Amino acid sequence: MRSIIVRAAFSGALIAVFGGLFAAAGQTDRRIEEIRRISREVSAQIAECETAGATSTTFLTELVVNRNGGPYPAVGIYRAVVKFFYTFGDREKNPYPDRLLKIVVSVDRAAAGERSEYLLNERGELIFYYEKKEETETRLYFASEKPIRTAVGEKTVEPRAKAGAAGRALAEKRRLIELFRNSLNF
């Protein structure tokens, strides 16, 4: 009888642990779907901005390094383009557009090109980071600026496995936002 009680208690504990894991996975999946929904909305706003910029409520500030494409010593071809897509935030507090939606960075070098994207929520928090270097694509999903899912290529990996990448993405996001804020002061 005692053995049956111990097995039942052990089974109950296993069910509780796995139930918690499945619930957490379900919550992560819902957050990722929400991030994808926001990404689709922002992509539509960006498309409108790029095709009908004069009438769009999404704005673009672009920083181009080495616009004419002159070769850099010891590097060769080098050109960097940073695009800041933004719109209005709280118009009661500020009538000017300053809410950053997305940052897109493209760097072309003689040896290879890189592209990275930073998708932000309404609070300015990073919710999605995309990076393509050479043939490797990395996607990081965030909740409260903590990685909740990481994908390298088609493979999902443990978010902590790319903690360094998440830290670098967050640090670069802060640097780029400072650059954007400074650009608004012209």
Q: What is the pLDDT of residues 146-163, one digit of tens each?
A: 999 999 998 888 766 667
| Whether 141 contacts 147, CB under 8 Å | yes
Q: What is the pLDDT of residues 21-68, one digit of tens each?
A: 444 568 889 999 999 999 999 999 999 999 988 899 999 999 999 888
- 162 contacts: CB under 8 Å, gap ≥ 6: 138, 140, 147, 150, 152
For residue 127, the model assigns a pLDDT of: 98
Average pLDDT of the segment spanning 125-135: 95
With 0.95 as the threshold, say if the pTM is over it.
Answer: no
For residue 18, the model assigns a pLDDT of: 43
For residue 134, the model assigns a pLDDT of: 87
Has residue 71 got a pLDDT over 90? Answer: no
Q: What is the pLDDT of residues 9-18, one digit of tens each?
A: 554 544 444 4
Two structure tokens written together for 74:
């010891």
Percent with pLDDT over 90 in the chain: 59
Has residue 94 got a pLDDT over 60? Answer: yes
From the list 117, 123, 114, the residue with the least C-alpha distance to 104 is 117
Mean pLDDT of the chain: 86
For residue 17, the model assigns a pLDDT of: 42
For residue 112, the model assigns a pLDDT of: 85
For residue 19, the model assigns a pLDDT of: 44
From the list 115, 118, 43, the residue with the least C-alpha distance to 84 is 118
Identify the residue with better confidence: 89 or 105. Answer: 105
Q: Range with the lowest mean pLDDT among 3-7, 102-106, 162-166? A: 3-7
pLDDT band at 20 (very low <50, low <70, confident <90, very high): very low
For residue 70, the model assigns a pLDDT of: 83
**Within 13 A of 167's CA, how many CA atoms are on the CB side?**
5
